Every structure is written in C-alpha cells, then in structure tokens.
Amino acid sequence: MARILAEISRTFGEYLLLPNLTDERCTPGNIDLSAPLVRHRVGELAPIRVATPLVSAIMGAVSSVELAIALAQAGGISFIHQNQPISEQAGMVAAVKRHKAGFRHNDVNIKPSATLDEADTLFKRTGSDVIVVTDDGNPSGTFLGLITTQDFNFIRHRRDEVVDSRMRTARELVTGAEGMSLAEANSLLWDSRQDVLPVVSADGRVTALVHRRDEALHHKFSNETVDAAKRFRVGAGVNTHDYLERIPALVEAGADVLCLDSSDGYSVWQQNVLAFVRKEYGDAVRIGAGNVVDGRGFRFLADAGADFVKVGIGGGSICITRDQKGIGRGQASALAEVVAERDAYAEETGMYVPLCSDGGIIHDSHMAIALAFGADFLMLGRYFARFDESPTNKVKLAGQVVKEYWGEGSSRARNVARYGQGKDLAFEEGVDGYVPYAGSLYDNVTVTLAKLRSTMISCGAISLRQFHDTARLVQVSQQTFVQNSEEVQRNERPTVA
Ligand SMILES: NC(=O)C1=CN([C@@H]2O[C@H](COP(=O)(O)OP(=O)(O)OC[C@H]3O[C@@H](n4cnc5c(N)ncnc54)[C@H](O)[C@@H]3O)[C@@H](O)[C@H]2O)C=CC1
Ligand SMILES: O=c1[nH]c(=O)c2[nH+]cn([C@@H]3O[C@H](COP(=O)(O)O)[C@@H](O)[C@H]3O)c2[nH]1
Ligand SMILES: [K+]
C-alpha cells in the first residue's frame, strides 16, 4: 500500500524568522555570507567556496557568458546550461575563463550603413549602451568606430540616417593595444576622458572593451569568485545522456564545477555519471547532483559521490511539473528534511555535502528563509533572468518593460536543441513567459545582500553557519499576511530617489 506522509508540504512564504539577540559583533561589515560549494571534511574549508551564496540556474534564458562574469564578480557562480550542443556549451565556458577582469567581450556590433533606427533597436534588445561599428557588422570585422546612446536621439536625428553619420570614428578615438594591462587601460580611459576604450588588435579588430564604470565596480566587489590563476570561476550543467562526451569537453574548456541537471536526481543514471567522474578524474573534477526532495534522495547521491546536492522539484517559477506529473514537494518541507539528513550524514561520515536550494525564491526575504532552513547556497532562475546580463530579449509588454524567461522543460527550450537525444517532446514541463526587467545584476545583488545581512543582524548571526544553527522560524497563518496588506492602499506614485 502506498504510504502517506503525515506532514504537510510547505513553501518559504509560510514562515517568518524570530529575532535573536543582536550584539556588538552584528554589523553589516562583519557579516560573512561565504559558503562551501563542494564536499569537504567536517572542520576543514571546502576547496571551492563562494563569497555570495547565490548561483544562477542551469537555464538557457539565464546563464549567459555575460551573466556568468557579472555573477562571479559579485561573488557567486553561474552554471552554463546543457540544453545545447556540447561544442557551444564548452565554448561559453571557455569564454568565461578567457575573460580577463575589466576586459569585456566585443559582442554588440553594427555596420556603418545601418540606420540609427536599427542601432536604437540593438541598444534596446541588448541593454548595451555602446555598439562597435565594423565594416561587416560582425565582431571579427575591421574596426571603424563606436556609436553610443549619447550620440543621437530622435528629436534631433532622423531614424533613417545612417550610423556612419553619427558614430565617432576609429581615428577620433583613443584605443588600447592588445596585451595591455588593465591598469594601463584604465589610465588611458582617464586621460582620454572616454567612457569606453576599445582594445584593437594589430589587424584592426576590436578584441575587448574596457568600460570606465567597471573600475568602480571592481572596487565595490572585492569578493570575486576566482580560481588560483585569478580567472573567474564558472560551472556547467551536464545530463545523464551524453556525459561520456560532454564532461571531458567541459573539463577541457576549464569548467570549475559541474552539476547534473534533472528534475529528478534519485536515479541510477545519476549514480552512473558520478561513478564515471570519480573513476576518470578522482577528486579533480567536482560535480553536484539532483534534484531531490527528501532524505533518501540525498543519501543516495551523497553515497554515490556527489559534491553537492540540489534540492527542489516543482517549486520553480516556471515549473508545471507538479501539474503535469504530480511529483514534487513544497520547498521549505523538502529543505527541512534534506538538511537534517545532510547533518546526520556529516556526523556519521565526517563528510559535509553542501545543499543547494533550487527554485521558488519569489521575494528576497525567501532567500533568508531558505538559508535559515539550512541551505548552503541558492540557485535562482527568475531572479537573474530579470537583469541586463541575462541573455534574453528585453521587450515592452502592455507598457511594462519585461525580459523573456522560459523553463528548460518548455517546448521553446527543447525545440532550441534537444540535439539528437531523439526524443519527441511528449508533454511540456515548463512555462515560456516574461519577467519584469529589473536593471543591472550588480545593483540588484547589492540590495539583496544588504537585506540578507540586515535579517542576519536581527537574528544575531554573523556567518551562515551560525545562522543555520541559531535561526528560529515560525509558521504563519494565512491571516497574518491578509492583516498586513489590506488596510492601506498602495501609493503608486514614483518615489523620489
Ligand atoms: N527542478 C524541477 O522541478 C524541474 C526541472 N526541470 C528542468 O528541465 C530539464 C529536463 O529535466 P528532466 O526532464 O528531468 O530531464 P532528464 O534528462 O533528467 O530526464 C528525462 C527522462 O529521461 C530518463 N533518463 C535520464 N537518463 C537516462 C539514461 N541514461 N537512460 C535512460 N533513461 C534516462 C529519465 O528517467 C526521465 O524519464 C532540466 O533542465 C531540468 O532542470 C524540469 C522539470 C522540473
Ligand atoms: O518544472 C520545471 N519546468 C521547467 O521547464 C524548468 N526549467 C527549470 N526549472 C527549475 O526551476 C529552477 C528555477 O526556478 P526559479 O525561476 O523559481 O528561480 C531551475 O533551477 C530548475 O530547477 C524548471 N522546472
Ligand atoms: K526517481
């Protein structure tokens, strides 16, 4: 007979934290948000850690090269998605590893004969405020000039005027030479009073762009996620189908950590992949597994050698797995059980296997709740999809600026590339939609982390470890929320900055 668990399945929104004593140690500057990413002996430090406990979802609509770089700068890490041909995924990983801090890729280009209207569309679509003009409109073309959002507007200029008429030409601009250091590039930027310095190769191609604002950002984010050679760290998703080819290609491309990407990790398929990695690479290659929602699933993957375990089935914002397959569990309940198992496992074996809570973060406060429940770090899709750095189009919908966001189980993701897995999409498990555009990753992560620190201060915890150990959560009634929100009508006027 099927078993029915006594406990009700609960989500983050059903809990609040109680304050603990806040003492002199509890200041924003003292709060340590660093977290282990991979398994390690209890009492030792994990070989890979993050200063910011946020990772971006293994999704085509989320983890681009640009987002991976921005998130590593902000102290987290991205997982490049695996729902694409192996060579393309490996290429994205290699691009992140090649990127030198401060030197941005030249990926937004236009021909001089294009119209200002086309340039305007490109600005809006990419969120970039500078376009490199090349003879053929490709990054590999000959550098002719730059056009920025400052160079025209449609009060003064006609939409059908050509880019050539408004761009600043290569001859007018100060440029850097390939191989120069970032310090040299930044000095040149100041001397030239330009906002952007194109770095040009001997054969006249733009190999990188150095932005003035990145220097300030670099000073703001001192906790970048970098490897021993100071290159940004990046993760990559893998699957249980083509791992014999995909994993070696990703390792070769320089991926710092891999993660099995599946709705259901409690399978011999994942056990086989983990065995393959250990046999082939020992501990030199790190790989997380999942997703699971209970203690059994966790122990199975921990025993199979997973470096971290990802928790969450059906809780994502684009998820319809619960409707389609009737499988899943409220994220809070899932975490509570898996955290208990992680701690029991550490006690028994001396091995700490970190937990990643994946999906279902709707408000920033849910991050604090998930961490209080005992998650080591959080994987987010919708949160990052809203930012400039995510790879999807920015569009206007009913007067609101939004960005596209779709699930990996949606027909859109699968149609893009199920690349010869030979399976027809029998049913969809994800939504294809939009999320409100929210600006830059840096600005948003800064605010999110400030809130998280503030919560931890109220709870008297200066590290995540301490937060796990001392947080006190209460379950709240529906009435608690109704009570707060109904009495005052929201002032919808824009707030004064
Ligand atoms: N976290 C969540 O709740 C959900 C996530 N997703 C996302 O959608 C994408 C697809 O997920 P899934 O459909 O779970 O993909 P999957 O590839 O893990 O599983 C698809 C099917 O293939 C089977 N399978 C896997 N490896 C096999 C092997 N080696 N031999 C034979 N059969 C094998 C599985 O049992 C399953 O029936 C992922 O990106 C995932 O993250 C989708 C639904 C829910
Ligand atoms: O049911 C699903 N159908 C899908 O198509 C799908 N795509 C991604 N995911 C999972 O959702 C997580 C991101 O969730 P959030 O947007 O809530 O952060 C991701 O990290 C995944 O675990 C999916 N789940
Ligand atoms: K299973």
Asked if pLDDT for residue 193 goes beyond 50, the answer is yes
Contact 28, 382 (CB under 8 A): no
Query: Which residues sit with Cβ closer than 5 angstroms to ligand 3, an ion?
Result: 264, 266-267
Separation between Cα atoms, residue 121 and residue 299, nearest integer Å: 51
| CA of residue 312 to ligand 3 center, whole Å | 13
Q: For residue 356, what are the β-bridge partners? A: 310, 377
233 has pLDDT over 70? yes
Residue 277 has pLDDT above 80, yes or no: yes
290/264 Cα distance (integer angstroms)? 6
pLDDT digits (tens, 9 = 90+) for 406-419: 999 888 887 654 44
Per the omega criterion (within 30 degrees of 0), is the bond before 291 cis? yes
Query: Structural domain boundaries of the chain?
Result: 12-101+224-477, 106-211
How much distance in Å is there from the Cα of 80 to the middle of ligand 2?
Answer: 14
- Looking at domain 12-101+224-477, its CATH superfamily turns out to be Aldolase class I (3.20.20.70)
Q: In 63-201, which ranges are E strands?
A: 77-80, 103-104, 109-110, 130-134, 143-148, 168-169, 176-177, 196-200
Identify the residues whose C-beta falls under 6 Å from ligand 2. Answer: 57, 59, 312, 314, 316-321, 358-361, 379-383, 407-410, 429-430
What pLDDT, on a 0 to 100 scale, did the predictor assign at position 491? 67
Q: Is residue 288 pLDDT above 90, yes or no?
A: yes
Mean pLDDT, range 205-212, rounded to an integer: 91
Helix (H, G, I), strand (E, B) or coil at 160: coil
φ, ψ for residue 211, nearest 5 deg: -100, 140
CATH superfamily entry for domain 106-211 = CBS-domain (3.10.580.10)
Ligand nearest to the CA of 61: 2
Confidence of residue 494 (pLDDT cuts 50, 70, 90): low
CA 120 – CA 114 distance, rounded (Å): 10
Question: Pick the residue with more confidence: 350 or 7?
Answer: 350
- Return the structure tokens found at 207: 């190999």
Ligand 3 centroid to residue 422 C-alpha, Å: 21
Kindly report, residue by residue over 307-354, the tens digit of the pLDDT: 999 999 998 888 887 778 889 999 999 999 999 999 999 999 999 999
Site of tokens 């600043």? 168
For residue 294, report the distance from its CA to the centre of ligand 2, in Å: 18
Q: Look at residue 487 in the predicted model and tell me its pLDDT.
A: 65
pLDDT at 481: 64
Atom of ligand 2 nearest to the CA of 380: 18
For position 216, what pLDDT does the model report? 76
Q: Residues with beta carbon inside 6 Å of ligand 1?
A: 58, 239-241, 261-264, 267, 269, 291, 312-314, 316, 319, 321, 358-359, 408-409, 429-430
Give the model's confidence band at 420: pLDDT under 50 very low, under 70 low, under 90 confident, else very high: very low
Active site residue 319: yes
Region 230-257 average pLDDT:
96
Annotated binding residue 314: yes
Report the distance separating Cα 257 and Cα 252, nearest Å. 12
Protein residue with least CA distance to atom 24, ligand 2? 319
Predicted confidence at residue 413, as pLDDT, reads: 86
Spatial contact of 96 and 69, defined as CB atoms under 8 Å apart: yes
The CA-based angle 238-242-244, given to 5 degrees, is: 95
| Residue 316 annotated in ligand binding | yes
pLDDT at 495 exceeding the cut of 60: no
Query: CA 443, 448, 450, 451 torsion: positive or negative?
Result: positive
**How far apart (Å, rounded) are the C-alpha atoms in residues 270 and 427?**
23
pLDDT digits (tens, 9 = 90+) for 370-415: 999 999 999 999 999 999 999 999 999 989 999 999 999 888 887 6
**What ligand is nearest to the CA atom of residue 263?**
1
Confirm whether 212 is a catalytic residue. no
**3-state DSSP assignment of residue 307:** coil
| pLDDT reported for residue 439 | 94
Q: 59 φ, ψ to 5°?
A: -140, 140
ipTM over 0.90: yes
